[in-house]
Structure 1
Amino acid sequence: MRLILYSKPGCHLCEGLQEKLEQILETQNLGVELEIRDITTREDWLLAYQYEVPVLVLANLPGAEAFEQPLPRPSPRANVQQIQQMLCKYLSNTKKK
């Protein structure tokens, strides 16, 4: 699986969430890759997410059947453990399908 974080430069909410996600993925073996997408690099991403970042999407790895599931935005106050619990919940739901 792949976790896509849509963000933009200078967004402190994006940077905070990215830090927490990197910490989780470094310490836990969730079988998930993190991909950061800068919305300012593509017009379609900018139009879709300019007022929404950070946006977190769970997706298949390239080459697999297309699958994308937007995840609820965690509170900026959520700690690493709370974000990890949310990820585990959605990952287990995805694997059951």
Structure 2
Amino acid sequence: MRLILYSKPGCHLCEGLQEKLAQIHSFSFDLEVRDITTRADWFQTYQYEIPVICRDNNGKEEQLPRPSPRATVSHLEQLLQKYLKTHSSE
């Protein structure tokens, strides 16, 4: 499974979420971090929304609900597991 994190340099919410994602070890996923300042289309789409997590579903990105910045690692892990299990069967 591959997750995509849309982010930009200096975004403390993005950095915090990336750190929490790195601490999840109960299931396997590849994390690709995309800097929205490197592409105009990403910047236009996500400039007011970052951090944004998407799931790569066979080349089609599906945006996941944005977790609270106050979510703990275990809470984030539970949310991801629940959401990914629910949507992987669709």
The TM tier, using the shorter chain, reads: over 0.9
How many percent identity over aligned positions?
61
- TM-score (ref. length: structure 2): 0.92
Q: What corresponds to 1:33 in structure 2?
A: 30
Give CA deviations for 1:35-90 in whole Å, capped at 9, x if unaligned: 00000000000011111100010113xxxx33321111111100001100011012
Counterpart Cα distance in 2 of 1:69 and 1:94:
10
Aligned residues: 90
Counterpart Cα distance in 2 of 1:78 and 1:43:
30
2:40 to 36, 39, 43: 43
- TM-score (ref. length: structure 1): 0.86
SS at match of 2:86: helix
Counterpart Cα distance in 2 of 1:12 and 1:66:
28
Q: What corresponds to 2:17 in structure 1?
A: 17
2:60 to 36, 50, 67: 67
2:88 to 75, 79, 95: 95
1:58 to 44, 48, 55: 55
Please, what is the CA RMSD of the aligned residues? 1.1
Give the partner amino acid of 2:61: E
Give the partner amino acid of 2:69: P
Larger displacement relative to structure 2 (87-96 or 74-83): 87-96
TM-superposed CA distance for 1:31, in Å, is 2.9
